[in-house]
Amino acid sequence: MTDLRIRAAGPGDLDAVLAFWKVSAEGTSISDDRDGVERLVDRDPEALILAECGDALVGTVIAGFDGWRCHLYRLAVHPDQRRQGIGTALLGAAEDRFVRLGGRRGDAMVLQRNERAQHAWRAAGYAPEEQWRRWVKPLTD
C-alpha cells in the first residue's frame, strides 16, 4: 500500500477514531468514549497511532509506555483493508516508538475468542504467555 500514512492522532481525530472502532475493532472497553480517548491523547500525544489511506482512516493502534512496560491496545484495521500490511506498518511504528523511549518488550491485549487477531499477532512475532492472567477491577460505575 504505497499511499499509506502513519501518524499520531490529534484532538481533532477522536470522534473519527471512536466511530472507526465501532466498525473495525473487536470488543469494547470501558475507555471507549470521548473522555477516555481524550485523556489518552492529552497525557501522551504520541500513544494513539493512526494509519490513513488518502483521507480515510484505515487502522489504529495504541502504543502506551508507562516508563517501564510497553503496552499495545486497539490494533484495528478496517475490514475492507485487511491483509494489505496496515497492521504490520502500525506495529512497526509502535515498536519504533517503544525503542526510542527505552522500552525492551511489548505486550498486547488480545481477546481469546479473536482467532484472526491471534494469528496476526503471532505473524508479527508475538506469543501468548500462558502463565499470566489479566485481573481487572472497574474503578467507576
Terminal C-alpha separation, the chain = 43
Q: What is the mean pLDDT of the chain?
A: 90
13-17: long-range contacts, CB 8 A cutoff, minimum separation 24 = 13/48, 13/50, 13/57, 14/38, 14/41, 16/57, 17/48, 17/50, 17/57, 17/60
C-alpha cell at 126: 508475538
**pLDDT tens digits for range 47-101:** 999 999 999 999 999 999 999 999 999 999 999 989 989 999 999 999 999 999 9
pTM for this one? 0.90
Q: CA 7 to CA 59: how far, in whole Å? A: 11
Q: CA 65 to CA 139: how far, in whole Å? A: 21
Q: What is the pLDDT of residue 1?
A: 57
Total number of residues shown for the chain = 141
